[in-house]
Structure 1
Amino acid sequence: MKISVELTLTPIQDDYEPSIIHFIKQMRESGLTVLENPLSTQVYGDYDQVMKVLTTEIKEVFEMMDKGLLYMKIVKSDRSDYEPHF
């Protein structure tokens, strides 16, 4: 089953950039399809593979920060090729 996941990582601390950069770099190296914009990161792939990578990387980045939030949306389909038709 293919899924699309939108992630917004928000460290609640002054020195927030290193953990965000680390997380995005790990996502890029995961072998999954990863798209980024200034507000979020989208990850696309097989459910089991995506969730395995996210479980590992979310734990690692949470250990890097004192406090933080991660917003996640999951869609059951691969939306990586989405283009607006308007």
Structure 2
Amino acid sequence: MQLSVEISKYPLHSDYIPFIKSFIDRVNQHGELQVITNTMSTQIFGEYDVVMGVLQKEMKASYEQFGKSVFVCKFISGDLSPEV
């Protein structure tokens, strides 16, 4: 089953850009996912179990490395990636 996720990270820190960039960079290292980032959010598309595994791993790494953050996510079944 395919999954589409829109995710935004809100670090509870005044210097928030490196915190967000680190998460996006780590998610982009997973070549089995399609990742699209814009100024408002990051969209992730791929196989359900792969997407959920990557999010679990990378969100935990973010908390361990940077401390408190808020993640806001929308999960939609199916592949809603834009046609290229």
> TM-score by structure 1 length?
0.89
Matched, 1:3 2:35: no
Structure 1: unaligned runs, 5 residues or longer: none
Residue type of the alignment partner of 2:17: E
Partner of 1:69: 70
Tell me how large the CA RMSD over aligned residues is. Answer: 1.4
Sequence identity (%): 39
Partner of 1:36: 37
Number of equivalent positions: 83
Partner of 2:14: 14
In 2, Cα distance between equivalents of 1:46 and 1:23: 20
Runs of 4 or more above 3 Å deviation:
none
Larger radius of gyration: 1
Per-residue CA distance 1:2-46 (angstroms, 9 max, x = gap): 010000000011121111111000111111100011010000000
> TM-score by structure 2 length?
0.91
Structure 2: unaligned runs, 5 residues or longer: none
